Structure formats: structure tokens, C-alpha cells
């Protein structure tokens, strides 16, 4: 299977969304098809039947920030099986550590992962570990890889990615203020972060933290990323942020203070000042992986919407056939297919053009998919009536997750801005001589403004 890191090739036209002649061939490669089929079968046979049990075992557990009796054992038993049958780490583009899947092929598989809440973790393909592993794989030193990448790849530990700060607008990461100051062979970290997803999990052992190392340097060189073991003295987990009233324990989105936290200087990733470059490296694939899984979530919501609609009657009709509900169902299917094609095209753009050149495609799908998936989940809730927001369907949890995705990894507006700015820039040249009055009316020899100006 080919690498997904081909360098940019000839771009057909410069528009906001660059394309190549091959970009609209969205077929999965023949080489990836057996893996895709195996993943689908594994989810159906090994994960789906155990998912409800996994959550049931967590109910009423003694330690709110731990796991219930038997819960991790159940999860680990699925992970061991997944590893045995080779369904492991295939998110990694590098053929040595992962399957060497192209982004396009991975997109098909990630849609399947998005249909089940624990499938990604069972196959060691879940965020934020995936992005962290990819960073370590790409820029980690041999020692960093040995200490942190290896256990992550083995699924033995989990990790967090920590950027957002309560006192700074994190959509403008240039302003992030958590400081790391070099002191001999160490860095001393001081500052406050929140929304650190996964940092509540007792299995979370390592955190990649965005820190300011050079406040007076060039704007894009001020930030760095550094490895901080979660049990380092001075790491104060102050509590969990709630999402619509839920603390999402034990995963958690933690509020953390770094109180003079000392880590070895060798924990710096790729060198000082590389914070933004690392963000680009991880957020490109990370964002599109989220969107791929969101298409799967939308597909699941539509399936539940229709199942409920055709198995319950009101006013003498099946709910699916009442009022505008056929239209709601149709719109959801149409939206899903358009999202699927956008995601596949963006994935193909990454394969063809490289992550940097394809970044506007990634912003386009990030701006499109969570908001629309949210609407589809919302309609599925509506057709379920009260049951839709209850614990009897996964819809409430899915809604919260898709709604928060409109904020996480850059809010919608930032991505709309990226696409809009690029569209405007790509039209500047062509717009230079644009004058509607002369271009259209003059050509036809008529001037409607004069014709209608009265006596």
C-alpha cells in the first residue's frame, strides 16, 4: 500500500480547493479492501455484542475516575483479539509501524469506526492517542519513541494533547501563555490549561503540552511542544470540565495547573519553536479522522431514526411516514452522501497533494461535517421522542460529541475563514478587470440603466 506523503504534484487550477486530475477517483484500493472487510466483520462480531456490557460494567463504579470491575478486562480482551488478527494501529501512514494505508483508504475504515463508541479504542485507533503517536513517530527522538511511542503503539498506556487555556482564546494559538523556561538540563513549566481530553483516565501516562518558550521571538516560533508525564510533581489536576452537564469520566476533559513542573530538556519535541509545525502535523490528519468518524456517526443516527420511525405508530401511521418525516429522512441520506464524498475527496487531496497543500480541503470538511452531523443526530432524537434524549439510545451522547466537535480542533468559524480567505485569494488576479456593467451589458450593446431611466 502506498505512502500518503507524496510531494505536491501539478495543480490543475488554483481555486480555494486545489485539485489534480486523479483527485476525483475515490475508489478504495484493492489492497485495502481485505482490511476494510475484516474491520467491519470484527466490529460486528466482537465489538457490537460487548459494547452495552462495557458501559453497564462502568455504572455505579466505586471510583468515579476509574473503571468498574471487569470493564478494562473486557476492553483488553477485545484489544488482544484485535492485535492477534492484525487489526491494530492501521491509522499510521508509516508502513513500518502501521498498515501504510493512504488517507483515502483509511477514510473508508474510519467511517465504520465512527458507528460504535468503543471501536476506535479496541483497534488502537482512538484520539488523542492517534495524533500523539503520529507526532512521536514523525519527530520523536529514539529515546522518546522507546519510552512513550512503544507503549502507546502496544495499547498499554493512553495520552493527552494539551493546548487550550482558560484565559486565552485558543482558536488563536499564537496567544497561548503557559510558559516553559530552560533551567540547566530541565524546563520549568508554569501555567493553566483546560479541556485536556483523556487526562482523567488512570491509564493516561503522558501528555504533549503546548508551551511558550520564546515570548519575544517571531510570532510563529514562540510556541513549543513538550512531553510531560502525568505523574510529574507540580501537575495539579484541578477537576473536569463538564460537557452539557456530564464530566465524561473516566476519560475527562481536565482543568490542569502546571506549578513549576520540571521535566528533562530532552522531553522537548523536535526542538524549541516548533510548536506550530507540530500542530499542523497532528491536526491535519486528526481533524479529518474526526470527520471520517462523524460520517459513521451520522450513518448510525439515520439508521436509528428510520428503525424507530417504522416500528412505532401515531395518528394511525408509522412515525416515519407522518408529516415531513420522509423529507427529514431523505435530507439526512443526501447530506450523508455529500459529506462522505467531501471527506473522501479531502483524504484523496492529502494523498495527492500532501497535508500542507491540502489543508484548505481539511478545513472545508471540518467546517461542514460536524455541524451537519449534529443536525442529523438532532432529527434522529426528534423522531425518537423522549427516548431520544435518554440513556436508552446512544443519540444524546452522540449529539454532545458532534456538538463539541464544532469547537474542538478549531471552531467552525476558523475553518470557514480559512476556506473563504483562500477562495478570495485565488480570485484576486481574475477579479482585477471585473466590472459587471462593462463585461455583461456593454457586450450586448444595450444599457438597461439608461433604458429604464425615464424621460
171 near ligand FAD (CB under 6 A): yes
> Which residue, 148 or 161, is less far from ligand FAD as judged by CB?
161
Among 197, 267, 279, 402, binds ligand FAD (CB under 6 A): 197
Length of the chain: 455
Closer by beta carbon to ligand FAD, 26 or else 241:
241
Instruction: Tell me: does residue 285 bind ligand FAD (CB under 6 A).
Output: no
Among residues 36, 161, 361, 399, the one that binds ligand FAD under rule CB under 6 A = 161
Least distance (Å) from ligand FAD to the CB of residue 387?
24
Establish if 162 lies at the interface with ligand FAD (CB under 6 A). yes
Minimum distance of ligand FAD from residue 420's CB (angstroms): 10
Which of 106, 195, 361, 399 lies at the binding interface for ligand FAD (CB under 6 A)?
A: 195
User: Closer to ligand FAD at the Cβ: 287 or 308?
Assistant: 287
Identify residues 235-274 at the interface with ligand FAD (CB under 6 A): 243, 253
Q: Cα separation of 97 and 92, whole Å?
A: 7
Task: Give the Cα separation of 112 and 83 in Å (integer).
Answer: 18
212 forms part of the interface with ligand FAD (CB under 6 A): no
Instruction: Pick one of 196, 325, 373, 422: the residue that binds ligand FAD (CB under 6 A).
Output: 196
Q: Output the smallest distance, CB 178 to ligand FAD, in A.
A: 11
| Closer by beta carbon to ligand FAD, 163 or else 332 | 163
- Segment 82-141, which members bind ligand FAD (CB under 6 A)? 128
Closer CB to ligand FAD, 36 or 161, in the complex: 161
Return the number of the residue (31 or 243) whose C-beta is nearest ligand FAD: 243
Which residues, 6 or more positions from 76, have their beta carbon under 8 angstroms from its beta carbon?
none
Min dist. Cβ of residue 107 to ligand FAD (A): 22
Q: Is 164 in the site for ligand FAD (CB under 6 A)?
A: yes
The CB-of-193 to ligand FAD minimum distance in angstroms stands at: 7
Site string for ligand FAD, 399-428 (x = CB under 6 A): -----x--xxxxx-xx--x-----------
How many residues interact with ligand FAD (rule CB under 6 A)? Answer: 22
Nearer to ligand FAD, 128 or 394 (CB): 128
Pick 340 or 415: Cβ nearer ligand FAD:
415
Of the pair 253, 372, the CB lying nearest ligand FAD is at 253
Residues that bind ligand FAD (CB under 6 A): 128, 161-164, 169-171, 195-197, 243, 253, 404, 407-411, 413-414, 417
Amino acid at each position: 500500500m502506498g505512502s500518503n506523503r507524496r510531494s505536491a504534484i501539478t495543480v490543475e487550477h488554483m481555486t480555494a480547493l486545489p485539485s489534480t486530475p486523479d483527485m476525483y477517483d475515490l475508489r478504495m484500493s484493492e489492497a485495502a479492501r481485505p482490511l476494510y472487510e475484516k474491520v467491519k466483520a470484527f466490529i460486528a462480531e466482537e465489538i457490537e455484542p460487548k459494547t452495552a456490557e462495557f458501559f453497564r460494567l462502568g455504572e455505579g463504579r466505586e471510583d468515579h475516575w476509574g473503571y468498574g470491575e471487569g470493564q478494562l478486562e473486557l476492553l483488553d480482551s477485545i484489544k488482544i483479539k484485535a492485535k492477534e488478527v492484525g487489526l491494530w494501529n492501521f491509522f499510521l501512514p508509516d508502513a513500518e509501524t502501521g498498515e501504510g494505508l493512504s488517507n483515502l483508504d483509511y477514510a473508508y475504515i474510519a467511517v465504520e469506526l465512527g458507528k460504535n463508541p468503543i471501536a476506535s479504542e479496541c483497534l488502537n485507533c482512538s484520539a488523542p492517542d492517534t495524533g500523539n503517536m503520529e507526532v512521536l513517530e514523525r519527530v520523536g527522538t529514539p529515546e522518546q519513541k522507546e519510552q512513550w511511542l512503544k507503549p502507546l503503539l502496544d495499547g498499554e498506556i493512553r495520552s493527552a494533547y494539551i493546548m487550550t487555556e482558560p484565559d486565552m482564546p485558543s482558536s488563536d494559538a499564537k496567544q497561548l501563555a503557559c510558559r516553559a523556561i530552560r533551567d540547566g538540563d530541565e524546563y520549568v513549566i508554569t501555567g493553566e490549561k483546560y479541556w485536556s481530553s483523556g487526562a482523567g483516565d488512570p491509564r493516561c501516562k503522558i501528555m504533549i503540552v503546548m508551551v511558550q518558550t520564546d515570548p519575544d521571538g517571531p510570532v510563529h516560533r514562540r510556541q513549543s511542544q513538550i512531553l510531560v508525564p502525568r505523574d510529574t510533581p507540580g501537575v495539579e489536576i484541578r477537576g473536569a470540565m463538564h460537557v452539557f452537564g456530564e464530566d465524561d469520566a473516566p476519560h475527562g476533559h481536565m482543568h490542569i495547573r502546571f506549578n513549576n513542573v520540571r521535566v528533562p530538556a530532552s522531553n522537548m519535541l523536535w526542538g524549541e519553536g516548533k510548536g506550530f509545525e507540530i500542530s499542523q502535523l497532528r491536526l491535519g490528519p486528526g481533524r479529518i479522522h474526526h470527520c471520517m468518524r462523524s460520517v459513521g456517526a451520522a450513518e448510525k443516527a439515520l439508521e436509528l431514526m428510520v428503525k424507530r420511525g417504522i416500528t412505532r405508530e401515531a395518528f394511525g401511521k408509522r412515525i416515519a411516514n407522518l408529516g415531513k418525516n420522509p423529507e427529514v429522512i431523505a435530507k439526512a441520506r443526501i447530506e450523508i452522501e455529500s459529506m462522505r464524498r467531501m471527506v473522501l475527496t479531502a483524504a484523496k487531496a492529502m494523498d495527492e497533494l500532501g497535508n500542507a497543500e491540502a489543508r484548505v480541503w481539511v478545513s472545508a470538511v471540518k467546517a461542514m461535517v460536524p455541524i451537519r452531523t449534529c443536525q442529523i443526530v438532532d432529527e434522529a432524537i426528534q423522531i425518537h421522542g423522549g427516548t431520544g434524549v435518554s440513556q436508552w439510545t446512544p443519540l444524546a451522547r452522540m449529539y454532545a460529541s458532534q456538538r463539541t466537535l464544532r469547537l474542538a480542533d478549531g471552531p467552525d468559524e476558523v475553518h470557514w475563514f480559512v476556506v473563504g480567505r483562500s477562495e478570495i485569494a485565488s480570485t484576486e488576479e481574475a477579479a482585477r478587470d471585473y466590472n459587471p456593467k462593462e463585461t455583461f451589458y456593454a457586450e450586448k450593446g444595450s444599457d438597461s440603466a439608461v433604458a429604464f431611466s425615464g424621460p
